[in-house]
C-alpha cells in the first residue's frame, strides 16, 4: 500500500513577510522614507509605529480610574489592580501601554485632570518626548552621548583592589598605567585610592590623600582626556578638583560626606551617583530586595533630587546602578537585563561590570580570565542604554564599544523625534 501521508514543510508564498523591530521614532521615520512615503505621510504614521509601555507607581486610585478612561477613549490601554474602584483614594500602580500617538493625545488630557494627574502629564512629557542631543560636559569639552559610548579607564592606586590591587600602587606605575590607557583609547580616566571590594574597610582621609594626590599631580597635566576622582570624601574631591580633575565618582552617592554634593555644585562638575546596598564591609552579606530594579531606581532618583537641592545642575548628574555592590548574581543579571529602564531617570548611565564576580560565577573563572565575559556585558550594556562603561581592559573594550555603537546606530545622522 502506498503511504499517502504528505510531508508538511514551509508554505510556499510569493510574499516576503518580516517582523520589524522599531525602537524609536527615528527608526520608524527611516523605514518609511525607504518605503517611499511622503514627508506628510511620515509625519502622520511615525507616532503610530512606536509603542511604549510605562509603569506608574504611587498613583491615587481615583487618578488611576481617570487615567484608564482617558487612555481607553483614545485607543490605548491601562492595566490596574483588580477591584481598584474599592481602593478609596489609596495609592496603586498602573501600566500604561500605547503608541506615541496615544501618549501625545493623552498628555494634554491629563493636564486638565485632578488628583495629581497634571504632574503625571509633565513626567510623561519629559520621559517620552525627545529634547534633542544629550551632551556631557567634562573638562571644558562636550561629549555627545548619542554619538558614541564613552570608555572610562580604571586607575586603582590601591594595594588591595579586587582586580589589580597593588599593581599600580606606586605613583610612577599608576601614572604610566594612566598614560597607557589613554593611548589605548580611554575617553576618561578614573583614579581612586580606596578599595571598595566586598569586605573592605574605608581608609583614613590622610592615607587616601597620600595615595591619590601624587598621581593626580603628575597625571592630570600629561593626559589629553578628562580625569575623574573616585572617592567618597569631599576633601579628597576638593584637592583633586583643585588639581584639574573634571568629575567626581562617588560610590556612596553623596551619603557618606555631607560636604560632597555642595562641593560638586560649587565647582560645576559632573558627579556619578552610584547605588550601593550597605557598605563594602557588609554589602555582600545576604543582600535582599523585593524589586531590585524598582528599589535601585528609587534610590538613584532620591539621590539625584538631593544633588539638585544642593545646587548640582541636573545635566551634571550621572547614575550608576552599582553592579556588584550589595547584589547577588541574580540581582546583577536582572539589573543588566532591564538596564534600559534606567533611561527614565533622565541622566547618563555609567555601567561598571569589568572583571566582576558575577562574571566569575557564570564562567567559573578567576579575575584574570574574565575578559570575554566583560566584553559580553559591555556590549549588551551599550545595547541597553549605557552611556559610559568603566573598564580595566581599555584597548579591548574600546573595540567592543565601537562595534556595539555601530550595531545600535550611534553616530548615525538619523532624524530626531518631533515633540
d(CA 108, CA 252): 39
Q: How many CB atoms lie within 10 A of CB 419?
A: 10
Do strands 141-144 and 227-230 pair parallel, antiparallel, or not at all (unpaired)?
unpaired
User: What cell was used for 288?
Assistant: 535582599
29, 104, 267, 390: the catalytic one is 390
Grid coordinates given for 106: 493623552
Rg, C-alpha atoms of the chain: 24
| Cell numbers placing 127 | 520621559
Rounded to the nearest angstrom, the gap between the alpha carbon of residue 392 and the centroid of all alpha carbons in its chain is 19
Which one of the listed residues 356, 370, 399, 416 is annotated catalytic?
Answer: 356
Question: Please, are residues 323 and 357 in contact by the beta-carbon 8 Å criterion?
Answer: no
Angle, helices 61-73 vs 100-110, to 10°: value is 130
Is 356 tagged catalytic?
A: yes
Residue 355 annotated among the catalytic residues of the structure? no
Q: Cell triple for residue 162? A: 579586587
> Nearest Cα to 92, choosing from 124, 73, 66?
66
User: Comparing C-alpha atoms, which of 94, 105, 103 is closest to residue 65?
Assistant: 94
Q: Are 77 and 96 in contact (CB under 8 A)?
A: yes
Q: How far is CA 216 from the centre of its chain?
A: 27
Q: Which residues are catalytic?
A: 356, 390
Amino acid at each position: 500500500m502506498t503511504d499517502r501521508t504528505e510531508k508538511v514543510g514551509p508554505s510556499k508564498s510569493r510574499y516576503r513577510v518580516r517582523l520589524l523591530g522599531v525602537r524609536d521614532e527615528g527608526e520608524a521615520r527611516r523605514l518609511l522614507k525607504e518605503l517611499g512615503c511622503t514627508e506628510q505621510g511620515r509625519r502622520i504614521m511615525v507616532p503610530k509605529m512606536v509603542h511604549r509601555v510605562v509603569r506608574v507607581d504611587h498613583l491615587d486610585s481615583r487618578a488611576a480610574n481617570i487615567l484608564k478612561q482617558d487612555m481607553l477613549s483614545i485607543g490605548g490601554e491601562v492595566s490596574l489592580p483588580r477591584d481598584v474602584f474599592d481602593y478609596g483614594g489609596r495609592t496603586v500602580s498602573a501600566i500604561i501601554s500605547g503608541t506615541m500617538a496615544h501618549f501625545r493625545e493623552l498628555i494634554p488630557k491629563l493636564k486638565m485632570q485632578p488628583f495629581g494627574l497634571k504632574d503625571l502629564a509633565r513626567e510623561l512629557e519629559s520621559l517620552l518626548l525627545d529634547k534633542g542631543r544629550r551632551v556631557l560636559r567634562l573638562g571644558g569639552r562636550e561629549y555627545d552621548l548619542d554619538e558614541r559610548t564613552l570608555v572610562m579607564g580604571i586607575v586603582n592606586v590601591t594595594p588591595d583592589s579586587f582586580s589589580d590591587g597593588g599593581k599600580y600602587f606606586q605613583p610612577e606605575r599608576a601614572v604610566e598605567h594612566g598614560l597607557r590607557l589613554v593611548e589605548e583609547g580611554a575617553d576618561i580616566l578614573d583614579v581612586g585610592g580606596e578599595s571598595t571590594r566586598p569586605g573592605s574597610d574605608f581608609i583614613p582621609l590622610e592615607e587616601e590623600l597620600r595615595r591619590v594626590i601624587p598621581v593626580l599631580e603628575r597625571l592630570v597635566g600629561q593626559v589629553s582626556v578628562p580625569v575623574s576622582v573616585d572617592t567618597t570624601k569631599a576633601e579628597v574631591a576638593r584637592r583633586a578638583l583643585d588639581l584639574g580633575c573634571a568629575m567626581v565618582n562617588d560610590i556612596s552617592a553623596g551619603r557618606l560626606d555631607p560636604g560632597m554634593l555642595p562641593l560638586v555644585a560649587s565647582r560645576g562638575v559632573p558627579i556619578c551617583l552610584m547605588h550601593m546596598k550597605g557598605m563594602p564591609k557588609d554589602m555582600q552579606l545576604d543582600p535582599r530586595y523585593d524589586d531590585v530594579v524598582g528599589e535601585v531606581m528609587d534610590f538613584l532618583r532620591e539621590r539625584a533630587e538631593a544633588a539638585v537641592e544642593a545646587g548640582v545642575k541636573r545635566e551634571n548628574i550621572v547614575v550608576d546602578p552599582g553592579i556588584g555592590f550589595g547584589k547577588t548574581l541574580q540581582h546583577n543579571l536582572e539589573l543588566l537585563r532591564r538596564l534600559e529602564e534606567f533611561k527614565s531617570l533622565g541622566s547618563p548611565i555609567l555601567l561598571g561590570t569589568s572583571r566582576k564576580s558575577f562574571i566569575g560565577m557564570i564562567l567559573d573563572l578567576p579575575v584574570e580570565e574574565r575578559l570575554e565575559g566583560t566584553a559580553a556585558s559591555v556590549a549588551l550594556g551599550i545595547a541597553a542604554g549605557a552611556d559610559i562603561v568603566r573598564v580595566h581592559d581599555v584597548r579591548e573594550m574600546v573595540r567592543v564599544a565601537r562595534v556595539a555603537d555601530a550595531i545600535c546606530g550611534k553616530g548615525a545622522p538619523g532624524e530626531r523625534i518631533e515633540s
